Chains A and B, each alone.
Chain A
Amino acid sequence: MKKIGLALLVVGLLVSLGLVSPTQKSFAAEPIKIGAILNYTGPAAMLGPLFKNGIVMALEEYNSQIAGRPLELIVEDAAGSPNVCLEKARKLVERDKVKIIIGPLMGDAQLALGPYLANKGVLATGLYCAMFELTKYQNWLIYPTTALGLTLPLGWYAADKGHKTMVMIIADYAGGHAFMKGVRTGFEEKGGKVVQEVLVPVGTADFGPYISNLKNADCVAFFVPNTGDSSRLVTQYKEFGVKMPLYGTTLAADLPEHVMKELGDKVVGLQGQALYIWSLDNPVNKKWVKAMEKRFGKTPGGLANNSYCITSSILAGLKATGGDETFSKLWPAVLKVKMDTPQGPLAYTKEGVALANGYIVEAKRINGRYSWDPIKVYPAVRDPRLK
């Protein structure tokens, strides 16, 4: 028995030595390596595979090669921590010599990576919008728009519905603040007033105490990250019987249909902002949804669409440079890309921020099937801070 234990340990060490040693150069055409930092463990563990599906779809549309150079995807686990993301980014850049990194998801991780990736001249992207602060580095592709731009329409929408005052529940981290600043900006632009901001830590198990102590207002808007926090907040909000209408951000992504089914009728009638729904009525989308269903066996959501659109635009840029992934060539090429994505038309500003449609959706139950239905579109939303 002891020998087995030792043998396993020794094998482990040898394997590690083998992998640490420099990778062998092949004589075939150098692959174009694309790094992806996705969540496979930690609080957002379920999102990694979804993002990956979108990326894989985009790569396969090019048959995984551009200008004779194979496309190679290297996936790393973000583990939900900015520090781990930075470590993984260093591995991708310094060991794998990657020039393109897709991800990470969370705003604070993006801010942590910012200085390093700018310094190394790597094309970086968020996964689901990104922080405006990153535009100063001039190497971040921000799709579909900045965090603030993404939620701007929700503020407008709430004001358009005649609400004068609002309470905000904000996840206390970089992304949360940016999202809710968007709602606030939109709401105040149209004459609304925010009367209370409730900051909640990421991963809050019990929102009860927060919900019990909300001030009175015409409506409540929230952003909390991930399915877990969002679904707990929605459930607990209903349980406590608060009468104020509730508006959510990033809804279709955080509460996809199978989660809605589990939440049941609690969720019906919930309105909020979303960036993509599978039922969008445009030909590109219809074709794409079919392809995704065929390839992965399930209906895609906003996350897969997001990573798909980002990857597609990068690949289009790569095609334009003839497969040259050098940052100084690739960056301008990607910024010039104009394409129709399932989500709508895509174009980048000179800061690298996409101007995509913003959708307001409502949770409905039709024939026993729960779904998000788009009820309003705000085309080509623009972060007011952009020139």
Chain B
Amino acid sequence: MVASDREVVRGPEQVKWIQFAPYFAVATILVVLPLFLSSYTQGVMTRFLVFALFSAGYNLVFGYLGLPSLGHAAYFGAGGYAVAVLKLHYGTDLFWLGVPLGILTATLIAALFGLIALRVSGLYFLLVTFALGQLLFSVAWNVKWLNSPGMQGIAGLSFPSFGIPGLTVNSTSYYYLVLLITAFCILALHRIVCSPFGHALVGIREGEDRMRALGYNTWLYKYIAFIISGAFSGVAGVLFAYYNYMIDPNHLGVGTSFLPMCMAIIGGMGTLLGPVLGAAVIISVELVASIVTPDRWPLILGGIFVLTIMFARQGIGVYLVELSKRAGYPYGSTKG
């Protein structure tokens, strides 16, 4: 369906270094550019990275496994809530505490919800995951312990502390921290996708019966992938809560679940970097549209969705790769 995951298997042929040029260019921009930007714009880029990570992790289930989850905000929000509850009830924003706790919370919830959701597939999977996410949303809404006094959600969060005297985190350093973690996670996802495990996921997407007959315990594969994806969503949620200064029930609900799905489709699902590109598109369009026209921005965002689907159906990423191929550049083509 989509280029890179299937073409990764290219055997022992030589890899041309020129193929990596675009990646180096993007990496350089991500590292150098923020130094020249205002703290707000650094914040926007932090937001972009967080959602790129969220979406890339989500895509393991959505693009690779082919299961349309509409409830991944549950794990994203759970990570965020772990950080927020630590701050609200225990007064600590220690990074070394928040991150493991957030990932653990997200993973456990994914492990529980996966058992329920994986009893069905296709359209029903979408509906069931939606239902589970909304359940968590209503719990966060109704349970007093999960809300700052007088409001829905938890406010007053801040950048994490590291427990090292003299080290305070500001928007610049937090950006680089998030960049580091996101890059690490995406590399990890890359390893997973290229491994026998990752290929098995694609195999299950394409033909679950056959994979079973080949000796794969397909349910277990789906379950593990679901949990891994939930864990990555949790990481993104933790990073988001520190950046966003607050977390509210909507971060567990369908509105937030919808974002990584949009990003993956727009960028190109079933590819590793598609969701990252999709995150860049959506975050920047949302931002610009609401600045340019505070009351008509939904028209622009909706228009982008429609245009993408009608003209670049496989996602902008895949579309660009194919255009560059047609133009004769080697970029993007990983075929040996």
Question: Is A24 an interface residue when CB atoms closer than 8 A count as contact?
Answer: no
In chain A, positions 86-139 with a C-beta closer than 8 Å to chain B are 86-87, 90-91, 93-95, 107-108, 111-116, 131, 133
| Chain A residue nearest in CB terms to B245 | A116
Stretch at the interface among B1-9, B102-110, B174-182, B291-299: B291-299
Which B96-132 residues have C-beta < 8 A from chain A?
A: none
Question: Which among B43, B246, B304, B308 has the greatest number of chain A C-beta atoms within 10 A?
Answer: B246
Residues A9 and B304 in contact in the complex (CB < 8 Å), given A1-B311, A16-B288: yes
CB distance from B117 to the nearest CB of A (A): 26
Query: Which residues on the A side are within 8 Å of B152 (C-beta)?
Result: 82, 108, 173-174
> Which listed residue (B291, B292, B310) contacts A5, Cβ 8 A?
B310
Q: Given A6-B311, A40-B295, A173-B152, does the pair A91, B288 have CB atoms closer than 8 Å?
A: no
- For B21, the chain A residues whose CB sits under 8 A away are none
Which of A55-63, A73-81, A341-349 lines the interface with chain B? Answer: A73-81
Question: Which of chain A's residues have a CB closer than 8 A to the CB of B300?
Answer: 12
> What's the nearest-Cβ distance from chain B to residue A318, in Å?
24
Q: A114–B319 contact, CB under 8 A?
A: no
Interface centre among A19, A20, A107 (most CB of B within 10 A): A20
B320 to chain A minimum Cβ distance, whole angstroms, is 8
In this complex, the interface size class of chain A, counting residues with CB under 8 Å from chain B, is 35 or more
Contact of A82 among B149, B153, B311 (CB under 8 A): B153
Of residues 1 to 55 in A, which have CB atoms within 8 Å of B's CB atoms?
Answer: 1-2, 4-6, 8-9, 12-13, 15-17, 19-22, 38, 40-41, 45, 48
Given the interface pairs A12-B285, A108-B152, the reply to whether A76 lies near B294 with Cβ below 8 Å is yes
Q: Which among B40, B155, B244, B304 is the interface contact of A115 at CB below 8 angstroms?
A: B155
Question: Is A173 touching B294 in the complex (CB atoms < 8 A)?
Answer: no
Q: Is the interface of B mostly helix, strand, loop or mixed?
A: helix
Q: Determine if B290 and A86 form an interchain contact, defined as CB atoms under 8 angstroms apart.
A: no
Q: Is A336 an interface residue (CB 8 A)?
A: no
Interface residues in B298-330 by Cβ distance below 8 A to A read: 298, 300, 304, 307-308, 310-312, 316, 319, 323
A177 within 8 A of B: yes
In this assembly, does B32 line the interface, its C-beta being within 8 Å of a C-beta of chain A?
no
B151 & A95 in contact (Cβ 8 Å cutoff): no
A236 to B312, CA, bound (A): 48
* B323 (CB) vs chain A CBs: closest residue: A6
CB <8 Å contact, B311 and A112: no
CA of A19 to CA of B251 in the docked complex: distance in angstroms? Answer: 27
Across the interface, B155 reaches (CB within 8 A) one of A41, A93, A107, A111, namely: A111
Does B93 sit within 8 A of A, measured CB to CB? no
Chain A: minimal CB distance from B170 (Å):
11
Contact B285 A16 (CB under 8 A): yes
Q: Are B156 and A115 in contact (CB under 8 A)?
A: yes
Residue from B36, B297, B323 within 8 A of A77 (CB atoms): B297
Q: Is B281 an interface residue (CB 8 A)?
A: yes
Q: A208–B278 Cα gap in the complex (Å)? A: 44
Q: B250 touching A83 by the CB < 8 A rule?
A: yes
CA distance A13 to B316 in the complex (A): 12
B168 within 8 A of partner (CB): no
Q: In the complex, which range does the number of interface residues on chain B fall in?
A: 35 or more
Instruction: Tell me the bound Cα distance from A16 to B37 in angstroms.
Output: 14
Contacts of A5 in B (CB 8 A): 307-308, 310-312
Q: Which of B231-271 contact A (CB under 8 A)?
A: 244-246, 248, 250-251
| Beta-carbon contact of B245 and A86 below 8 Å | yes
- Bound form: Cα–Cα A12–B150 in Å: 40
Which residues from chain B contact A17 at a C-beta distance below 8 Å? 284
**Distance (whole angstroms) from the CB of B284 to the closest CB of chain A:** 4
Most buried by B among A90, A94, A112: A112
Q: How far is the CB of B254 from chain A (nearest CB, A)?
A: 14
Contact A90 B288 (CB under 8 A): no
Q: Specify which chain A residues have a CB less than 8 angstroms from the CB of B291 in the assembled complex.
A: 19, 91
Contacts of A22 in B (CB 8 A): 36-38, 41
Are B304 and A20 closer than 8 Å at their CB atoms?
no
Q: Which residues of A contact B43 (CB under 8 A)?
A: 90, 94
> How many angstroms from the CA of A13 to the CA of B287 in the assembled complex?
11
Question: A112 — which chain B residues lie within 8 A by C-beta?
Answer: 151, 153, 155, 246, 248
Interface string of A157-193 (1 = CB under 8 A from B): 0000000000000000110011000000000000000
Contact B281 A86 (CB under 8 A): no
User: In the complex where A76-B290, A77-B290, A94-B40 touch, is A4 in contact with B246 (Cβ < 8 A)?
Assistant: no
Query: In the assembly, what is the distance between CA of A346 and CA of B307, in Å?
Result: 53
By the criterion CB–CB under 8 Å, are B155 and A4 in contact? no
A83 to B294, CA, bound (A): 16
**Of listed A9, A13, A173, residue having the most chain B CB within 10 A:** A9
Distance from A357 Cβ to chain B, minimum over Cβ atoms (Å): 26
Interface-central residue, B150, B151, B285, B307, by most chain A CB under 10 Å:
B151
- Using CB atoms and an 8 Å cutoff, list the residues of chain B in contact with chain A: 36-41, 43-44, 148-153, 155-156, 171, 244-246, 248, 250-251, 281, 284-285, 287-288, 290-292, 294-295, 297-298, 300, 304, 307-308, 310-312, 316, 319, 323
* 29 sampled A-B residue pairs with Cβ under 8 A: A9-B308, A12-B285, A15-B288, A19-B292, A20-B37, A20-B284, A22-B41, A38-B294, A41-B297, A41-B298, A48-B294, A82-B151, A82-B246, A82-B248, A83-B153, A83-B250, A86-B244, A90-B40, A91-B291, A93-B40, A94-B40, A95-B41, A111-B148, A111-B155, A114-B155, A114-B156, A131-B150, A174-B151, A174-B152
> Across chains A and B, which 5 residue pairs bring their CB atoms closest together, nearest first?
A5-B311, A94-B40, A16-B284, A95-B40, A40-B295
Known pairs A1-B311, A83-B250; list 19 more (Cβ under 8 Å): A9-B304, A9-B312, A9-B316, A13-B281, A16-B288, A38-B294, A82-B152, A82-B153, A82-B155, A83-B244, A83-B246, A83-B248, A86-B155, A95-B38, A111-B148, A111-B151, A112-B246, A112-B248, A114-B156
